[in-house]
Amino acid sequence: MRSNKGIILNQQKYALELIADLGLGEAKSVCTPLEQNQKLTSIEYDESVQTKVDGDNLIADVTMYQRLLGRLLYLTNTRPEIMFVVQPLSQFMDRLKKSHLEVDFRVVRYIRKNPGQGILLSAASKSQLIAFCDSDWASCVMSRKSVTGFCVKIGESLVSCK
* Predicted confidence band of residue 42 (pLDDT cuts 50, 70, 90): confident
> E strands along the chain, which residues?
2-3, 6-10, 58-59, 96-97, 118-122, 129-136, 147-154, 157-161
Predicted TM-score (pTM) of this structure: 0.85
Cβ contacts of residue 3 below 8 Å, gap of 6+?
A: none
Query: Which pLDDT tens digit goes with each residue over 45-92?
Result: 888 877 766 667 888 888 989 999 999 999 999 999 999 899 889 888
Q: What is the DSSP letter of 82?
A: G
Per-residue pLDDT reduced to its tens digit, 99-155: 899 999 999 999 999 999 999 888 887 789 999 999 888 777 777 888 888 999 998
Round to whole Å and give the CA distance between 162 and 151: 7
